[in-house]
A and B are shown apart, each in its own frame.
Chain A
């Protein structure tokens, strides 16, 4: 079975500071990994995905994540936080066999302080 652990249900950073949201996964096979963002009262939007190509994945809005197999991690980073980055972020895992359901972490709420 697959699972995702997101460390920290709430992270607060100052505007312009580094954003680091942690995600660790458990999977019996090399997984596909995703980060989604959810703004209040909206659906989920894909930030980036890892599908067994490059281990450093660049996404939208300046976010990137690095797949580290040895650490079973897929942490999300952004060099400089903007106020508009305040949202809920979800890490998710799926099987590489394609189009299988996503298993989500509990989410991390990011607050950005001016």
Chain B
């Protein structure tokens, strides 16, 4: 199993540009989570999906942020326009709905380090 895959691993962009972060969850997992990690706020949930449907997006900072999950194997987090305060590490995690020893365990990707200049 390849684990959760995120791309790109690093992104440097200029203020005002559109940024798209990508995530491929573990095959067979029904839940997908997007988290953001900053020095000031730590790790915080942005949005999560169940069976490709957004369940809770209350953590999305503002309308500049949007997330989609068009199918079970792909999700995107888009920031448009980006601002310097969006600089952070963005993690994607996935988990399975039920069954097995890994139930309720979230598996994290390596993260995307975003720098907005």
Q: When A and B form their complex, what is the total count of cross-chain residue pairs whose Cβ atoms lie within 8 Å?
A: 52
Let me know if B105 and A44 touch, CB within 8 A.
no
Give residues 98-114 of A contacting B (CB, 8 Å): 98-99, 101-107
Let me know if B91 and A43 touch, CB within 8 A.
yes
How far apart are A23's CB and chain B's nearest CB, in angstroms? 14
Type the 1/0 row for B100-115, where 1 means its CB is closer than 8 Å to any CB of A.
0001111111110100
User: Given the complex of chains A and B, what is the CA–CA distance between A94 and B95 in angstroms?
Assistant: 13
Give residues 47-103 of B contacting A (CB, 8 Å): 48, 50, 56, 91, 93, 95, 97-98, 103
- Asked if A51 is at the interface (CB within 8 A of a chain B CB), the reply is yes
- Asked if B19 is at the interface (CB within 8 A of a chain A CB), the reply is no
Give residues 65-114 of A contacting B (CB, 8 Å): 90, 94, 98-99, 101-107
User: Chain B residues in contact with chain A, CB under 8 A?
Assistant: 4, 30-31, 33, 35, 42-45, 48, 50, 56, 91, 93, 95, 97-98, 103-111, 113
Q: A43-B109, A98-B103 are in contact. List 17 more A-B contacts (CB 8 A).
A: A36-B108, A41-B110, A41-B113, A43-B4, A43-B91, A43-B110, A43-B111, A44-B93, A51-B104, A90-B43, A94-B104, A98-B97, A98-B98, A99-B31, A101-B48, A102-B106, A106-B42
